[in-house]
Chains A and B, each alone.
Chain A
């Protein structure tokens, strides 16, 4: 695009947003072509935090690749853990005990809430509201404490193993989760009163950053971005895995396609996570948490394998090609926010810069996962 002057006193200019900018939440650089306050073109530039995660998968054993899964999307690491262990279990034909499946779902959903809470706080912070961040972190802290008691870590979890979980959970954890469910049920209406109904927030979000269903299809956007554009697509329902078919929950869908719709999808999703956790705790059976016969050295039959799960930000999929060895021949990770970010260039054209940042916040980007 050329920098042709628009009129005598107006000229287009380039503006670098990032790679070190608080609104991009990481080392994302967006090359903006501006016409005054308006965005003419926005080109996301990646590569500042590339760590070759896919290549790492090809030069270490299946089990040794486990800790990498906590370092892609560090905010909902357990969904990624889950996707990977389920893939390898599918490849090697390992049966998982039922209790382990329930523990996996409870912890993953807790992690999803913590991820959405952090997004909620950070997003409102992007828009200039500081207070909700502190309230959201108060709640998130409770989840981190609960998960720390089970997984031993607070952020980069590595809790699931092939055939089950690293350790069993205590009744303390389950009752703690139930207490948290009760607590968040009282806190969510407070969030809605404080933030969702706030006139300033509504003015900043309603009608801003419209993403049509067609655009989502074109760029492969998934998760809350897709559901905020009116398409009911959630892998937990559409391609059920683990014990999700046994649980009763709804998929929140908003047809408007603006930033407010994406905001509401995530807020409603937290409520649905609470329902899932409650039901899973009520149903959790006694028993072992590890399968009895898990081979020390996993050597799946040669072939092409694919598994996808619904992470907090959308579809996380892994495609692994095995040549029968103890490590992958080819590992491909499909991360949701890479696709979600791709539509930013088209959708942000003609937007005010301030609206562009609000729009970017509503996409819920996690850079280490875009740039693997």
Chain B
């Protein structure tokens, strides 16, 4: 019989303790950000889709069209094409296409890029109803970049 009342008292106390915790939390400052009115800065290492790095001095990329990114990609997202051009040593990149619908952001392309010509972008606000919108022409993107 004594156990019966101890159980009830102990149970009631546990509820009061729990309620006092939620009460205290109620008066704390909310931590939720009201996206899209507020948003966080993306961290420098955030993995968005890849992009060619613009060299500040030459104003262009450093890709040598070796095709390592294309070969290392698990999902065949990358298509590149290099051409021999007169007066230029090595190949010149004429096409760099990325099919972002298949990319899983593993970073194998970047890890395998010898000249360090590509990096992750910090794009995350991506939405579309057409999958073609995620087929990126990275060379065009580089030219449009300021």
Complex: chain A residue closest to B19, CB-CB: A194
Are the C-beta atoms of B111 and A166 separated by less than 8 Å?
Answer: yes
Q: How far is the CB of A31 from chain B (nearest CB, A)?
A: 33
Evaluate whether A153 and B105 lie within 8 angstroms (CB atoms) in the complex, with A67-B74, A194-B22, A197-B14 already known.
yes
Contact between B45 and A135, CB atoms less than 8 A apart:
no
Write the nearest CB–CB distance from A154 to chain B, whole angstroms.
Answer: 9
Binary A-proximity of B99-119 (CB < 8 A = 1, otherwise 0):
000001111100110000000
CB distance from B133 to the nearest CB of A (A): 22
Task: Using known A-B contacts A148-B43, A149-B43, A151-B45, determine if residue A60 contacts B14 with beta carbons closer than 8 Å.
Answer: no
CA distance A70 to B45 in the complex (A): 18
CA–CA, A198 to B11, complex, Å?
7
What chain A residues lie within 8 Å of B107 (beta carbons)? 152, 158, 166
Q: Are A64 and B108 also in contact (CB < 8 A) when A138-B31, A152-B120 are?
A: yes
B18 adjacent to A194 (CB under 8 Å): yes
Any B CB within 8 A of the CB of A161: yes
Query: Interface size class for chain B?
Result: 20 to 34
Contact with A199, one of B14, B73, B108 (Cβ below 8 angstroms):
B14
Contacts A166-B111, A167-B45, A190-B21 given; indicate if A199 touches B15 (C-beta within 8 A).
Answer: yes
Least CB distance from B14 to A in Å reads 5
**Cross-chain contact A198 with B105 (CB below 8 angstroms):** no
Query: Which of B10, B11, B45, B106 lies in contact with A150, CB distance below 8 A?
Result: B45
Min distance, Cβ A298 to any Cβ of chain B, angstroms: 12
Within 8 A of B (CB), among A151-167: 151-153, 156, 158, 161, 166-167
Residues in B with CB closer than 8 Å to A199 are 10-12, 14-15
Partner of B111, one of A161, A190, A198: A161
A197–B17 Cα gap in the complex (Å)? Answer: 9
Whether B15 pairs with A158 at a CB distance below 8 angstroms is no
Count the A residues whose beta carbon is within 8 Å of the partner chain — how many? 33
Residue of A nearest to B73 (CB): A64
Complex CA–CA separation, A198 to B21 (angstroms):
12
Q: Are A158 and B104 in contact (CB under 8 A)?
A: yes
Q: Are B14 and A198 in contact (CB-based, < 8 A)? A: yes
Given known pairs A63-B72, A149-B45, A199-B15, the reply for A194 and B21 (CB within 8 Å) is yes
B106: contacting residue among A67, A148, A194, CB under 8 A:
A67
- Asked if A193 is an interface residue, CB under 8 A from chain B, the answer is yes
Pick the contact of A64: B10, B11, B74 (CB < 8 A): B74
| Given contacts A158-B106, A199-B10, A60 and B17 within 8 Å (CB-CB) | no
User: How distant is B46 from chain A, measured CB to nearest CB, in Å?
Assistant: 6
Given contacts A150-B45, A151-B45, A152-B120, contact A193 B31 (CB under 8 A): no
The residue in chain A whose Cβ has the minimal distance to the Cβ of B24 is A190
Chain B nearest CB: distance from A136 CB in Å? 13
Name the A residues within 8 Å of B46 (CB-CB).
148, 152
The CA of A166 and the CA of B108, in the complex, are separated in Å by 10
Q: Which residue of B lies closest to A152 (CB)?
A: B47
Complex CA–CA separation, A334 to B14 (angstroms): 41
B106 near A66 with CB under 8 A, answer yes
Contact of B74 among A60, A150, A195, A197 (CB under 8 A): A60
| Interface assignment of B34: CB less than 8 Å from any CB of chain A | no
- B128: interface (CB < 8 Å): no
B129 beta carbon closer than 8 Å to chain A: no
Binary contact readout B1-33 vs A (1 if CB under 8 angstroms, 0 otherwise)? 000000000111011011001100100000100
Partner of B108, one of A63, A135, A138, A200: A63
Least Cβ–Cβ distance between B80 and chain A, in angstroms: 17
A65 located at the interface, meaning its Cβ lies under 8 Å from any Cβ of chain B in the complex: yes
Shortest Cβ distance from residue B137 to the other chain A in the assembled complex, whole angstroms: 23
CB distance from B54 to the nearest CB of A (A): 20
Complex Cα distance, B105 from A181, in Å, reads: 29
Flag whether A131 is at the interface (Cβ < 8 A). yes
> Inside 8 A of B73's CB, which chain A residues have their CB?
64
Q: Which residues of B contact A193 (CB under 8 A)?
A: 17-18, 21
Contacts of A63 in B (CB 8 A): 72, 108
- The answer to whether A64 and B105 touch across the interface, beta carbons within 8 angstroms, is no
How distant is A38 from chain B, measured CB to nearest CB, in Å? 26
* Nearest neighbor of A290 in chain B, beta-carbon distance: B111
Please name the 6 residue pairs, one residue from A and one from B, whose CB atoms are nearest each other, closest first.
A199-B11, A67-B106, A152-B47, A64-B74, A158-B106, A67-B104
A-B contact pairs, 19 of them (CB 8 A): A63-B72, A64-B73, A64-B74, A66-B106, A67-B104, A67-B105, A71-B104, A141-B31, A148-B43, A149-B43, A151-B45, A152-B46, A152-B47, A158-B105, A158-B107, A194-B18, A199-B10, A199-B11, A199-B12
Known interface pairs A70-B104, A167-B45, A197-B14; 5 further A-B residue pairs with C-beta atoms within 8 A, sorted by A's residue number: A64-B74, A67-B74, A67-B108, A152-B43, A199-B15
